[in-house]
Amino acid sequence: MPYDETLAERVRAVFQSEPGYTEKKMFGGICFMIGRNMALGVTGSDLMVRPGPDDFEDALMLPHARPMDFTGRPMKGFVYVGPEGIAT
């Protein structure tokens, strides 16, 4: 599944000046890394966020957020945010 290039460009504009910034194709989309850690990504039209273990449950309670289930099973620590939940 192709990813939303416009959304990826928005993410790039924010993160590309961070030290250690790189991009890597993963999870059927593109992930934005800081150092060796994935910060977030874009897959299809969804934003893929890694809120961290302490904020994971709270992130799932936000509107338009759902567990990342790329493999058919939820992946703890990762949340999809649908297009309706991404501010313009």
Residue 75 confidence (pLDDT) above 90: no
In which residue are the tokens 């961070």 written? Answer: 18
Cα angle 77-8-24, degrees, rounded to a multiple of 5:
65
Residue 69 confidence (pLDDT) above 90: no
Q: What is the pLDDT of residues 9-60, one digit of tens each?
A: 999 999 999 999 999 998 889 999 999 999 999 999 999 999 988 899 999 9
Kindly state the average pLDDT of the residues 49-74.
88
The pLDDT of residue 77: 85
The total number of structural domains that make up the chain: 1
Kindly state the average pLDDT of the residues 54-77.
88
| Nearby residues of 7 by Cβ (< 8 Å), 6 or more positions away | 42, 45, 47, 86
**Domain around 56:** 5-85
Q: What CATH number does residue 70 fall under? A: 3.30.1460
